[in-house]
Structure 1
Amino acid sequence: MTLPTPQNLCLAAIPQAAHPALINLATDYLSACHHQGLNPGPWPEDLARIWYYSEFVARAAIRHPDRFLALLASGDLERVYQDGDMARRVQDSLAPARDETDLMSQLRQSRQREMVRIAWRDLSGAATLNDTLADLSTLADQLIDGALHWLHQDLVRRHGEPRDAAGQPQRLVVLGMGKLGGDELNFSSDIDLIFAYPRSGETDGERSLDNQQFFIRLGQRLIKVLNEKTADGFVYRVDMRLRPFGGTGPLVMSFDALEDYYESHGREWERYALIKARAVAGDRDSAQQLYALLRPFIYRRYLDFGAFGALRDMKALINREATRKGKDQDIKLGEGGIREVEFVGQAFQLIRAGRDPSLQLRGIRPVLERLAAQDLMPAYAVRHLLEAYDFLRRTENRLQMVADQQTHRLPQDPSDRLRLALSMGFADWDSFERSLNRHMRRVHSQFEQVFAAPQGGDDDEQTTQPEAQRDLASLWLGSLEQERALAVLKERGLTDPEAALTALTQLRDSSACRKLTATGRERLDRLMPLMLGVLSGLQAPDATLERLLRLVQTIARRSVYLSLLVENPLALSQLARLCEASPWIADHLTRYPLLLDELLDPRSLYAPPGRQGLLDALNDELVQVPQDDLEQVMDRLRLFKQVQVLKVAAADIMDVLPVMKVSDHLTWIAEVVLERVLDLVLEQLVARHGRPRCLIDGKPFEPGFAVVGYGKLGGLELGYGSDLDIVFLHDSRGAQAMTDGDRPLDNSEFFARVGQRILHFLGIFTGAGRLYEVDTRLRPSGASGLLVTSVTAFADYQLGSAWTWEHQALVRARPVAGDGRIAKAFEAVRDQVLQQPRDEDALRQEVREMREKMWKEHATRDPAWFDLKRDPGGIADIEFMVQYLVLAHASRHPQLTTWPDNIRILESLIETGLMPRDDALFLMDTYRCFRDRIHELTLQELPARVPASDWTQEREQVRAFWQRLMT
């Protein structure tokens, strides 16, 4: 075996200029081995290259060749640590520590061994970036936790165990912030920590201490053993300035004190910092309670677009500081650097993660991946950010591995530049710099797209605004003379500028606006000129402004909504268009401002999903909340319904959806909601009382429950704001009809409770409104009958006791949720009832008399108007004729009972030859036309009536059909 010498060190891959320095390092290393009587063995294959890249690794080997040789022999340089390996290494190294001095020495030796291993594996290409960041973070966790455990036990020996008032032991929770919290620690990083403990109390020893004093001493000692520089170096530079009140605040606080601080004094940058907070040492079980306390501060339950402005300001401050310190070549803080990647991801978290817990992640890479998966950022943009982040983090680590120093500046010395380029896999500095610049340009471009202020906000930008925009700002602030203000409003297309100016003044001087915080006022002052600006080009700017001002009055105190509109000009434009087109939509948005988020993406806004898409969307919405939190579940159901109805209305008002599709979508929304409500109610009651069981002919049977839709729901013809006409059925019968839980109920009582809770779920008002008004009077015996009926009793009633008008109603009935077996049984009963032979003359008379009764009670009294639903010649006439024809002829033509909706029944009447094709097509077209007009009137918040001069020919023709068929 050839003994190693400085001369046979393999330097072929090393630049010639670096050879002398490496030979000197090799000489010093061999001398150190000889001094300790160690056999250095052959040179490892990668040693020269790694020592060239990292003098830190070389110096560590020279100072402690025994430890270096042991590391080489261990095989740890070739393998990935498995779970628990790092913890065992650190624990074994700290176990012999007898006192604090010994502890400090062992900590530093353990750190140096693992840092040499991590650097070697990274520089040799044996480790991925994920491996390196995970090892660095895990090492920090274990060193901090090991030191804390040792120090805690030492203090307990002196003062006893800290306990709360109930006698429960208390432990310190060490929160790691920044990259440590995100499991993305860089090679030579400070660690930002916050100390907390669960509850107040005192220690149980003879030299008792208040818990806070105990943990303050513990925290001080932990900082010392990690931070203090000794002959062995230091473990980590510890920064505590992120704690409440910064460097002047108490070192340690109880959970309650932390919660109170963030509720009362927390600032935007602290929300940003706490996104990555993670318990890295101490009482990790109690840390879950702390996370729950902090979560409402970090993640707002509404969409918080105010975070954009706060992060923009924070980044501007960082940029100014970087410029002042000459950090333009800084890969962390410079334009396109690591911090900008983090800001992009964390901005979306601050804005959306309160509503979407799947974004409550600590690491930036999984956050970005989630944004792409949810289509919140384009996939290509996320790919560019992830590629750049990988490149920049590897560059950061290679810079810091040179000498174990915290630096983010690119080197200026040519030899240092070449070393960095080669360590990153490039042949020279120029090719490395080109790649670096490309990545940083992409990052900065994405950062600018996310954070660029949509309108000028500071003084310099204000001076560059167009004169018209400055006039609008002055007008809103009341500093524009009246004559000029009226002229400006007239230029925007307003026909009554005096009324508009008065309305603006009233809003500006209203109590809601006067009570705004400084931040809220600043956001309102930025929004209003923009809002006035979007009036240009509208057909009805006066009415639109009136509706917009009502909305602003409502949202002013929730300035996050003001930020949403300021930060998203497209959303503001969509808002103006929709408010112009429909006062119903304007009112809907005013009552439920959470829906403003839907304006951000017109692709989604004007493309309501189909039935399966609705199911998927509702699942995504509810998976984010605990199913046992009924308040949140109810709110999410309501939000889902409101969002989906808004999408239908937006697509309708912009003529994207035809009338039949509008009703289809509104009906699907109701069906999906009913299905989920039924599932939730059954889940709750089964958990409490068990599943319903019974015996039929001695055999066990598990009965089910179903919801039948009547009227517009049954006929797939729901409109905006339609009630739901529903009937509840179950199929329990036979013996031993009881639930099988610990608190059993008779099946009839169980299913009655199911029905009652469904009505409660649908009808109760919460802060998010009501789901649906429900009418159950079409059940057997109406309001005096049982709320939930068995299928058998329902069949008996329909075949033996129901009135003709109830059979008419059955024409437009179908199962909409629940047990498929009951659905089939209901359809069989419906077919049997509707296909009964009937006396046509008697049937005609009963149907006609019912219709005439409706005319007398509900028809329009004013001859100047025509009620599209109720008046002669309207929708009700067509519906009654269709129902009559089904009841009169289904016994001979059973296909008439296939469908519950009027259009397809009319198609069936053509197929059976019961109605001439031209007549049926006319009724279909007229029916669609009337329904379409009703949708339009609803969106204009107008009653379902038109001037009597409208559609006279169509109405007369419908009446002529009625006369021929029904008299």
Structure 2
Amino acid sequence: MSVPELLQDTTRQNWQRLEDKLDASLIERLKAVPDAEKIITTSEYVVESLQRFPLLTEELLDQQWLEIPLNTAQMRAILQDKIAAIDSENDLHRVLRQFRRQMMVRIIWRDFSFRTNMWQTTAELSDLADICTDEALNWLYNHYCQQWGTPYSKAEAGEESVPQKMIVIGMGKLGARELNLSSDIDLMFCFPRHGQTQGGRRTLENQDFFVRLGQKLIAALDNNTVDGFVFRVDMRLRPYGQSGALSLSFPAMVDYYHDQGREWERYAMIKARIIAGDTDSGNQLLDELNSFVYRKYVDYSAIESLRDMKAMINREVRRKGLSTNVKLGSGGIREVEFITQVFQLIRGGRETELQERSIRKVLPIISGMGLLPQQITDELLDAYLFLRNAEHALQGVADQQTQTLPDDDFPRLRMACIMNFDNWQAFEEKLDHHRNRVAEHFANVIAAPDDEEENNQGLNAELRAIWQGEYEPDAGVSLLEDQGFEKAQETYKRLEQLRSSRVVQSLQREGKQRLDQFMPLLLAAVTECTTPSRTLERTLLLVEAVLRRSAYFVLLMENPGALKQMVKLCAASPWIAEHLARTPILLDELLNTATLYTPAELEPLRDELRQQMLRIPEEDEEAQMEALRYFKRAHVLRVAASDIMGTRQLMKVSDYLTFIAEAILEHVLQMAWKKLTDKHGRPQKADGQPCDPSFAIAGYGKMGGIELGYGSDLDLVFLHDAASQGYTDGNKSIDNGVFFTRLGQRIIHILNTMTPSGQLYEVDMRLRPSGNSGLLVSSLKAFRDYQEKEAWTWEKQALVRARVVAGCPEVASKFEQIRREILAQPRDEAQLKEDVVSMRIKMRDNLGSKPATGDEIPLFHLKQDAGGMVDIEFMAQYCVLRYSEQHPELLRWTDNMRILETLQHTGILPEDDVRLLSDAYLAYRQSAHNASMQKTKSQVPATEFVEYRARVSQIWHNLLEDNS
């Protein structure tokens, strides 16, 4: 755009200044550069630099650097050429400053002319800082190693002493590669290991060497000489701040952050990046510090510290009158940064995509994960871009570190011109629009939860007093009774016991404060239930489980809806209460009721698990196993929540639980297959082709019959279709049979191993050919041979409920064909009845209810007693074995309900009998299911289900025992 008329006097004056110092030819060449008039008018720094350093100006024009972008390698090569000719530290200072000035002129020129966007400008500025720091460090290190000696690590047992180099960590905007036009650079110095210098005039400890080297580097960058400065250096973010050593060893850094690191330092370390020195070692250090920055759990405590930081900034803004500061004022740059970083700190440990330094990259990730609507992240990005451009317009005028808007007319008009606005009013309207949007979104994200209820009612104050032990026991019990606690005296004692427990008494101040804030809210929440005492007892399981992880209290305090959901679910089921207590990280699932009460179907489960596992390095099996366990527990919680709240029928609950297991088994097979094939290569088929994988997992029992419950184990059989005499094709080749045995062992290991999050599934392999004495993995041929020649009747009954649940489709098809052929074989009816009845009698005797004695109430075992679930299952299995030769449609299904339906459609069983068996089976299953959710046994008083039991027993007798 053209320069406004009111600025044209400045334009003429600045050109005159240049003409007084530069040759006419240079002036003409400058005027020919696009947007020269705008830049010469608006940037005093550019005019002064061109005027003072004609040789630099000539080089800028000769190389066309004002018009073209320069990448990192090009800028580094320019500086290296200049440094190569120097002999002294003074020369280093001069070259660095003149190079920086030259690059700053071209960057400001391109930025003010909008030939580059803000992101490119900040990236080039960050590259400039990286290059100047790294090249200065390299020169200084080589120079002072000649005087002080080269630092070496202290040799440990079995190790060689190796040279040590310094690592420079860039923080803040430099770390994010978003440096502004006149920014400090926040640095930290460190080195890998302690030791001593070798080859110098005298021996120095490594720390002494690197402290001295760090001082020299700061001087090389920060000292203001006749040539100016390179970058202002701020070292206050280092461990212990200004009182800390200038350079620390890696062990000292790790100890500091893990033992003494504060919340604001987590915030600062998000952007930490190795910018100079020993990059590989430095990145290893950052990897080690990652667990300090990002918690493995959902960490809502971060939001407290960010609120505190923002409150402190607000006080500073008011005290210093910084309301017009585009960085610190309301709706400014800092608020956009806080919004992004609160999500990173809260969720970055689990959602590793959030472990990203750049705001430009983080905000789309946040919306992509559904944490904020895309409209909001788009508005934040637009505002951030505008605010950062405004910041550059302020700083590029005189290379001054300012973010405060001007008050006078001339600088206001100049700033509007830089920003391509016709006047200040138009610019200010656009600025206010962006700042208002940011302030609104910031308030919604960072604002504290609504305290209106607490302010308007005295209940929480009274409950707080009870928790704090401020009431006499009788008065406290009376108050609890007034609030509906059905066992008020027991509840009061339970609270007193918790408050005085050794764990609570040993809590650090912050943890104790959070517990004291949380408990009145919990007590108030349980009063909404019909049985507050019982509900509180269940929720206290969770409280006690997380006493030393008080961030979970913050999560529930920050999200009153999550607290309400937790209490509601615990009130409904002790099983859910224990589930949450064992895995408190699942509290995160309570934040979104849309997903909490909506379990996923199989395909979405597969997709979600695939996406989650892609975030974890393949080589980190421990992290993968933990992720699988979280995935299972989170989705089982969703099923249980929808089940408890009555939004899902029993059959759908079993479907969902089975889907979860199938998705997990598929991924576990992939994990085990990759680990084995990476080491040994792939097994071979009979035709010489590699298996990929020619392996399948068959599910039996509840897994095969799509009837999994919350605590069900998995009855599995492993099958392969590789060549019996083949070998794998890898460098460490092994026999096919050995390979598949190891594959099966690996799968069981992943499923069975107890990790900090518990066991994934308990696996039962006893239904494989020959049971526990048989091979862990059978070939399809061996499986067929066993079923045809050796399998007992009860094993063929088990085959009725078998289906492939993971693995190769080709193997699955062959297994299904074998299953059909085996089940459809003709059988002697009398012998079949005898085998089925004999096995059932043994099961009743061993597993059924024992006769009541004395005052005991007679019980009915829902599964094992006569007339129960297993009777119905055995009848369905008998009919499949007896009639599938004539009615192959009986072989289509593996679940009891659809087998019963098919028996009706084929006329094998009367419609009334099928309806009775189906109703009874569902009633039994629902009762057993409810018992598991209430943590009781699968036995009911014998006075229940009397008619169902009698009718089922009669149908059993008619079908299997009546030989008339």
Q: In structure 2, which of residues 420, 423, 426 is the aligned counterpart of residue 428 of structure 1?
A: 423
**2:471 alignment partner in structure 1:** 480
1:455 Cα deviation from its structure 2 partner: 5.8
CA contact (8 A) 1:193 1:240 kept: yes
**1:896 alignment partner in structure 2:** 890
Evaluate the alpha carbon distance shift between residue 491 and residue 826 of structure 1 in structure 2; reply closer, same or farther with a 3 A threshold. Answer: same
**1:188 alignment partner in structure 2:** 182
Give the percent of matched residue pairs that are identical in Structure 1 and Structure 2.
47
Cα distance between partner residues in 2 of 1:537 and 1:463: 15
**1:120 alignment partner in structure 2:** 109
**Structure 2 residue 193 is matched with structure 1 residue 199:** yes
1:14 Cα deviation from its structure 2 partner: 2.9
User: Which consecutive unaligned segments of at least 5 residues does structure 1 have?
Assistant: 1-11
1:198 Cα deviation from its structure 2 partner: 1.4
1:547 Cα deviation from its structure 2 partner: 0.6
CA contact (8 A) 2:454 2:460 kept: no
Which letter maps to 1:683?
K
CA contact (8 A) 1:703 1:732 kept: no
**2:481 alignment partner in structure 1:** 490
Cα distance between partner residues in 2 of 1:70 and 1:950: 97
**Structure 2 residue 357 is matched with structure 1 residue 362:** yes
1:917 Cα deviation from its structure 2 partner: 4.0
**2:57 alignment partner in structure 1:** 68
Evaluate the alpha carbon distance shift between residue 481 and residue 331 of structure 1 in structure 2; reply closer, same or farther with a 3 A threshold. Answer: farther
Evaluate the alpha carbon distance shift between residue 147 and residue 795 of structure 1 in structure 2; reply closer, same or farther with a 3 A threshold. Answer: same
Cα distance between partner residues in 2 of 1:703 and 1:276: 43
Q: In structure 1, which of residues 364, 371, 374 is the aligned counterpart of residue 369 of structure 2?
A: 374
1:647 Cα deviation from its structure 2 partner: 1.3
**2:668 alignment partner in structure 1:** 677
SS of 2:937's equivalent in the other structure is coil
**2:716 alignment partner in structure 1:** 726
Q: In structure 2, which of residues 878, 896, 902 is the aligned counterpart of residue 884 of structure 1?
A: 878
**1:6 alignment partner in structure 2:** none
CA contact (8 A) 1:178 1:192 kept: yes
Cα distance between partner residues in 1 of 2:214 and 2:615: 37
Cα distance between partner residues in 2 of 1:338 and 1:359: 19
Cα distance between partner residues in 2 of 1:38 and 1:838: 106
Cα distance between partner residues in 1 of 2:689 and 2:333: 68
User: Which consecutive unaligned segments of at least 5 residues does structure 2 have?
Assistant: 155-159
Which letter maps to 1:781?
S
Cα distance between partner residues in 2 of 1:239 and 1:801: 79
Q: In structure 1, which of residues 563, 566, 575 is the aligned counterpart of residue 566 of structure 2?
A: 575
Cα distance between partner residues in 1 of 2:424 and 2:30: 35
Cα distance between partner residues in 2 of 1:362 and 1:871: 63
**Structure 2 residue 709 is matched with structure 1 residue 709:** no
Q: In structure 2, which of residues 398, 421, 435 is the aligned counterpart of residue 440 of structure 1?
A: 435
1:740 Cα deviation from its structure 2 partner: 3.8
Q: In structure 1, which of residues 333, 356, 363 is the aligned counterpart of residue 328 of structure 2?
A: 333
Evaluate the alpha carbon distance shift between residue 309 and residue 39 of structure 1 in structure 2; reply closer, same or farther with a 3 A threshold. Answer: closer
1:301 Cα deviation from its structure 2 partner: 2.2
**2:410 alignment partner in structure 1:** 415
1:483 Cα deviation from its structure 2 partner: 5.1
* CA deviations over 1:178-217 (Å, ceiling 9, x no partner): 0001100011001111011112223332414332222222
Q: In structure 2, which of residues 271, 291, 297 is the aligned counterpart of residue 276 of structure 1?
A: 271
Q: Equivalent residues in 2 for 1:242-261 (5 A)?
A: 242-261=237-256
SS of 1:729's equivalent in the other structure is strand
**2:829 alignment partner in structure 1:** 840
1:713 Cα deviation from its structure 2 partner: 0.5
SS of 2:179's equivalent in the other structure is coil
Which letter maps to 1:193?
L
**2:936 alignment partner in structure 1:** 942
**Structure 2 residue 680 is matched with structure 1 residue 689:** yes
SS of 1:253's equivalent in the other structure is strand
CA contact (8 A) 2:195 2:205 kept: yes
Which letter maps to 1:213?
D
SS of 2:717's equivalent in the other structure is strand
* More off after superposition, 126-135 vs 650-659: 650-659
Matched residues, number: 950
Which letter maps to 1:182?
A
Cα distance between partner residues in 1 of 2:730 and 2:307: 57
Which letter maps to 2:215?
Q
CA contact (8 A) 1:219 1:252 kept: yes
SS of 1:927's equivalent in the other structure is helix
**Structure 2 residue 655 is matched with structure 1 residue 661:** no
**1:612 alignment partner in structure 2:** 603
Evaluate the alpha carbon distance shift between residue 474 and residue 462 of structure 1 in structure 2; reply closer, same or farther with a 3 A threshold. Answer: farther
Normalising by structure 2, we get a TM-score of 0.94
CA contact (8 A) 2:146 2:200 kept: no
Q: Equivalent residues in 2 for 1:552-591 (5 A)?
A: 552-591=543-582
Q: In structure 2, which of residues 862, 865, 877 is the aligned counterpart of residue 868 of structure 1?
A: 862
CA contact (8 A) 2:170 2:187 kept: yes
* CA deviations over 1:798-819 (Å, ceiling 9, x no partner): 1122221111111101112223
Which letter maps to 1:160?
G
SS of 1:692's equivalent in the other structure is coil
CA contact (8 A) 2:4 2:417 kept: no
**1:96 alignment partner in structure 2:** 85
1:707 Cα deviation from its structure 2 partner: 1.6
Cα distance between partner residues in 1 of 2:180 and 2:20: 33
SS of 2:190's equivalent in the other structure is strand
**1:912 alignment partner in structure 2:** 906
Q: In structure 1, which of residues 367, 381, 384 is the aligned counterpart of residue 379 of structure 2?
A: 384
1:843 Cα deviation from its structure 2 partner: 2.0
**1:8 alignment partner in structure 2:** none
Q: Equivalent residues in 2 for 1:587-602 (5 A)?
A: 587-602=578-593
Cα distance between partner residues in 2 of 1:467 and 1:731: 71
CA contact (8 A) 2:569 2:641 kept: yes
Cα distance between partner residues in 2 of 1:462 and 1:26: 67
Cα distance between partner residues in 2 of 1:204 and 1:462: 69
CA contact (8 A) 1:29 1:65 kept: no
SS of 1:650's equivalent in the other structure is helix
* More off after superposition, 952-961 vs 534-543: 952-961
* CA deviations over 1:420-467 (Å, ceiling 9, x no partner): 2332233332332222222222222222222222266xxxx9994632
1:545 Cα deviation from its structure 2 partner: 0.6
* CA deviations over 1:648-685 (Å, ceiling 9, x no partner): 11111112222111111111221222222222223223
CA contact (8 A) 2:171 2:268 kept: yes
Q: In structure 2, which of residues 735, 754, 761 is the aligned counterpart of residue 746 of structure 1?
A: 735
Q: Equivalent residues in 2 for 1:918-933 (5 A)?
A: 918-933=912-927
* CA deviations over 1:6-37 (Å, ceiling 9, x no partner): xxxxxx93333322222221211111125999
Which letter maps to 1:679?
Q
Cα distance between partner residues in 2 of 1:740 and 1:225: 58
Evaluate the alpha carbon distance shift between residue 741 and residue 68 of structure 1 in structure 2; reply closer, same or farther with a 3 A threshold. Answer: closer
**2:157 alignment partner in structure 1:** none
1:303 Cα deviation from its structure 2 partner: 2.2
* More off after superposition, 422-431 vs 765-774: 422-431
* CA deviations over 1:480-535 (Å, ceiling 9, x no partner): 34455334423433122222111111111111111101010011011111111112
Q: In structure 1, which of residues 342, 358, 372 is the aligned counterpart of residue 337 of structure 2?
A: 342
Evaluate the alpha carbon distance shift between residue 653 and residue 362 of structure 1 in structure 2; reply closer, same or farther with a 3 A threshold. Answer: same
1:882 Cα deviation from its structure 2 partner: 1.1
Q: In structure 2, which of residues 758, 761, 781 is the aligned counterpart of residue 792 of structure 1?
A: 781
Cα distance between partner residues in 1 of 2:859 and 2:726: 56
1:910 Cα deviation from its structure 2 partner: 3.2
**1:133 alignment partner in structure 2:** 122
Which letter maps to 2:307?
R
Cα distance between partner residues in 1 of 2:626 and 2:438: 38
Normalising by structure 1, we get a TM-score of 0.94
**Structure 2 residue 497 is matched with structure 1 residue 502:** no
Q: Equivalent residues in 2 for 1:229-248 (5 A)?
A: 229-248=224-243
**Structure 2 residue 614 is matched with structure 1 residue 623:** yes
**Structure 2 residue 255 is matched with structure 1 residue 265:** no
Cα distance between partner residues in 1 of 2:330 and 2:450: 21
Which letter maps to 1:355?
R
Cα distance between partner residues in 2 of 1:947 and 1:336: 66
Cα distance between partner residues in 1 of 2:543 and 2:27: 79
Cα distance between partner residues in 1 of 2:664 and 2:106: 57
RMSD: 2.3
**Structure 2 residue 147 is matched with structure 1 residue 158:** yes
**1:108 alignment partner in structure 2:** 97
Q: In structure 1, which of residues 532, 536, 547 is the aligned counterpart of residue 538 of structure 2?
A: 547
